[in-house]
Amino acid sequence: MSKINYELKQQIIKEYFNGTGATTLSKKYKVSNSVILRWINRIKNENFEMVISENRHRIEYSVEFKIKVLSYKNSHNCTLSELCNKFKIYSESTIYFWQRQFDELGIIGLSRKRGNPKMNKNKVTKQTKLSKDDELKQLKEENLMLRIQNEYLKKLKDLDQKQAKKKQW
């Protein structure tokens, strides 16, 4: 089953809280056991809107938010499900993807848009030279990204050193 509508989610959750086990519900409605348990966990953590949300795939997170989540993950040694509950992110795979992108491409990996850019029907000639204002703006953005990346790496290094000291004791 690819998409589960609100009424079916509500029915499954109601049956679970009336005493039916997650495995039984999983077989009855052909919904993954882990999905049902994720809904229940989110309800217990008072994240109701994450369970009933229909637009969960359209959420776009800022680079700063992604860095905040990854920093918290590394500094507090949280599980992905704990992070999802704390920051109200729908899927653990989202955070895993951000971590992988950051490890492979750095801060730029977190800011990249997915997919190909839309084609323009009327071809516009390339700008050969940016205006000074545009160039300055672009350099400032790049500088900010590099500062954020530098801070993240410093915190990660400090965390690694702290963990190494703990292992020595």
Quick one: residue 106, left, alpha or beta (phi over 0 = left, psi -120 to 50 = alpha)?
Answer: left
Q: How much is the pLDDT for 1?
A: 44
Q: How many CA atoms lie within 13 A of 44 on its CB side?
A: 9
Residue segments in the chain with a per-residue pLDDT below the cut of 50: 1
Q: Which tens digit of pLDDT belongs to each residue from 30-66?
A: 988 888 887 787 777 665 555 555 555 567 888 999 9
Q: How much is the pLDDT for 92?
A: 84
Give the predicted TM-score (pTM) of the model. Answer: 0.47
